[in-house]
């Protein structure tokens, strides 16, 4: 029997089971108080009730009722923030890299980062047995992140059921070992980057550089070699970003060294090296660490796909960013590189609003990740790893909440969708009790195209592919500059615990 995955059914937005934000609490409290004051001033029972209901009900609707996929209050805040950013020019970025220069000892001078990127980034270089790796300190997120490139099973879809089950168990073991192993890594972000390429580039280049005076046997041999070389029309990369929380214990360990940066590099380098050694247990092959040059090249490529990922010449923490980024439009962002000042790239980002409601097979993402052609796309899934004890406690709370919300009055037919949600919650609780890893995850999808018209076409293609995968996307209009960063290797897209 094929392996299936059950995702919990999203609950409708409401008071029960939902933590209200500060502005929502303020609007609800102000509406209730204003309604009481108005009712106290007005005479007559019916007018009192009408005025109180109008004021309090209107505030409750603005804060809680669904409106265009969110709530009216959330859209008000999004629009207000976007207008404020337009006024102060924060969404129009131009890199100062050509004018930044260097210190006398060679260190680059820091420059401002594009909008949406974590502020006050600090770059740290750590050494591991697998090579140097760049570690980013994100002070406002209280987290360190590092990225590695891995290679998964290429022919997973052609394996039989038992082999697929074995690979899935190996991956679950990797997650559980990371969550319960006592290490510091508490967040994983998987980024699949798909870039269309021209399969005939090699042949055209060979024809252009062919020497007419070459010996016949050499010319014939090279032509035969070109015919036999397998060339793919897509370049697929799998990037794994590791998130390590900034904790007092880590700071105390780092203070034992000469400088904090040196201490962070040593302590975090050991954690990352131990994780890389465990990758083989999850049937994943380590390809390379992303050091400063490789990470900067990947970041630059995300804004300008014309820059190749593996071209690290001159790439560092300053040249990682695009020459220009224009996020003033509501439906996309526009980025330009120094290498191609006349050609702009348009990008849109969506968050995966809804995962499959029904049990899904192991290949449920194939329509999105495998069957889409000629589209530049990044799919990022960020996971918070939760220790088993806390995961089962939270699963029991979710199951209790689901069962408590069910309407089981006599003569009342229970909604079959609620039954599936209850069964999924109970199954999750049992799986964690049997040793499965607890995770909290979110997903993001970014589409990049060379023009606005191509972007609309490619976005529709991705939306249809996501629908076939059982996913529901919501485009992050007026927030694309922030959402775009969630598909970069910063392990973003999830709120920190307690925030």
Q: What is the DSSP track for 409-432?
A: -TTPPPPHHHHHHHHHHHHHHHHH
pLDDT band, residue 193 (cuts 50/70/90): very high
Q: Check residue 15 and give its pLDDT.
A: 38
Pairwise CA distance, residues 499 & 495, whole Å: 6
Q: Over the chain, what is the mean pLDDT?
A: 81
Measured in residues, the chain has a length of 499
pLDDT band, residue 129 (cuts 50/70/90): very high
Separation in Å, CA 438 to CA 194, 353, 496: 28, 20, 16
Q: Check residue 182 and give its pLDDT.
A: 78
Q: Check residue 270 and give its pLDDT.
A: 94
Q: Check residue 351 and give its pLDDT.
A: 92
Cβ contact 351:484 at 8 Å: no
Q: Check residue 229 and give its pLDDT.
A: 65
Q: Check residue 97 and give its pLDDT.
A: 82
pLDDT at 14 over 50: no
pLDDT at 219 over 90: no
Q: Check residue 200 and give its pLDDT.
A: 62
Structure tokens at 335: 């980025």
pLDDT higher for 405 or 272? 272
pLDDT at 18 over 60: no
Q: Three-state SS for 108?
A: strand
Q: Three-state SS for 405?
A: helix
pLDDT higher for 446 or 425? 446
Task: Kindly state the average pLDDT of the residues 423-440.
Answer: 62
> What percent of the chain lies above the pLDDT cut of 70?
78
Q: Check residue 69 and give its pLDDT.
A: 65
pLDDT higher for 276 or 236? 276
Which of 11-25, 128-142, 233-247 has the weakest average pLDDT?
11-25
pLDDT at 23 over 60: yes
> What percent of the chain lies above the pLDDT cut of 90?
32
pTM of the model: 0.77
Task: Give the highest mean pLDDT range of 101-105, 106-110, 124-128.
Answer: 124-128
Pairwise CA distance, residues 326 & 487, whole Å: 18
| 13-21 CB contacts, 8 Å cutoff, 24+ apart | 13/64, 13/66, 13/71, 14/64, 15/64, 16/401, 16/405, 17/401, 17/405, 20/63
Pairwise CA distance, residues 16 & 168, whole Å: 35
């Amino acid at each position: 029997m094929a392996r299936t995955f059950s995702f919990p059914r999203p609950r409708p937005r409401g008071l029960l089971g939902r933590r209200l934000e500060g502005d929502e609490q303020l609007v609800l409290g102000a509406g209730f108080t204003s309604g009481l004051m108005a009712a106290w001033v007005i005479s007559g029972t019916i007018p009192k009730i009408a005025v109180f209901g109008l004021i309090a009900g209107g505030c409750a609707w603005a804060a809680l009722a669904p409106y265009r996929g969110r709530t009216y209050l959330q859209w008000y805040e999004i629009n207000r923030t976007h207008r404020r950013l337009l006024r102060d020019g924060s969404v129009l970025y131009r890199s100062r890299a050509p004018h930044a220069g260097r210190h006398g000892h060679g260190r680059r001078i820091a420059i401002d980062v594009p909008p949406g990127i974590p502020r006050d980034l600090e770059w740290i270089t750590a050494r591991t047995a697998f090579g140097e790796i760049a570690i980013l300190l994100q002070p406002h997120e209280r987290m360190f992140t590092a990225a590695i490139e891995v290679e998964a099973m290429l022919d997973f879809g052609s394996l039989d059921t038992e082999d697929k089950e074995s690979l899935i168990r190996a991956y679950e073991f990797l997650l559980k070992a990371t969550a319960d192993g006592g290490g510091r890594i508490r967040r994983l972000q998987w980024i699949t980057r798909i870039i269309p390429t021209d399969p005939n580039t090699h042949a055209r280049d060979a024809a252009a550089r062919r020497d007419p005076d070459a010996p016949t046997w050499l010319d014939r041999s090279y032509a035969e070699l070109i015919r036999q070389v397998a060339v793919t029309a897509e370049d697929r990369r799998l990037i794994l970003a590791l998130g390590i929380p900034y904790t007092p214990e880590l700071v105390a360990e780092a203070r034992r060294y000469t400088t904090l940066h040196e201490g962070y590099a040593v302590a975090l380098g050991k954690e990352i090296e131990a994780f890389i050694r465990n990758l083989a247990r999850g049937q994943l092959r380590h390809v390379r660490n992303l050091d400063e040059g490789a990470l900067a090249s990947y970041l630059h490529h995300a804004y300008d796909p014309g820059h190749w990922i593996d071209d690290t010449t001159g790439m560092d923490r300053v040249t990682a960013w695009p020459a220009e980024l224009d996020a003033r439009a509501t439906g996309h962002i526009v980025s330009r590189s120094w290498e191609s000042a006349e050609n702009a790239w348009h990008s849109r980002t969506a968050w995966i609003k809804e995962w499959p409601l029904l049990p899904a097979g192991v290949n449920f993402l194939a329509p999105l990740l495998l069957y889409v052609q000629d589209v530049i796309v990044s799919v990022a899934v960020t996971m918070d790893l939760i220790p088993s004890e806390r995961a089962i406690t939270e699963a029991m709370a979710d199951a209790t909440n689901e069962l408590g919300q069910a309407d089981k009055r006599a003569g009342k037919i229970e909604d079959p969708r609620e039954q599936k949600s209850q069964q999924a919650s109970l199954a999750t609780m049992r799986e964690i009790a049997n040793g499965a890893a607890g995770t909290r995850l979110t997903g993001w999808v970014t589409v990049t195209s060379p023009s606005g018209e191509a972007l609309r076409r490619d976005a529709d293609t991705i939306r249809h592919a996501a629908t076939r995968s059982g996913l529901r996307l919501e485009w992050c209009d007026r927030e694309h500059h922030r959402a775009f960063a969630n598909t970069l290797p910063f392990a973003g897209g999830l709120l920190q615990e307690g925030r």
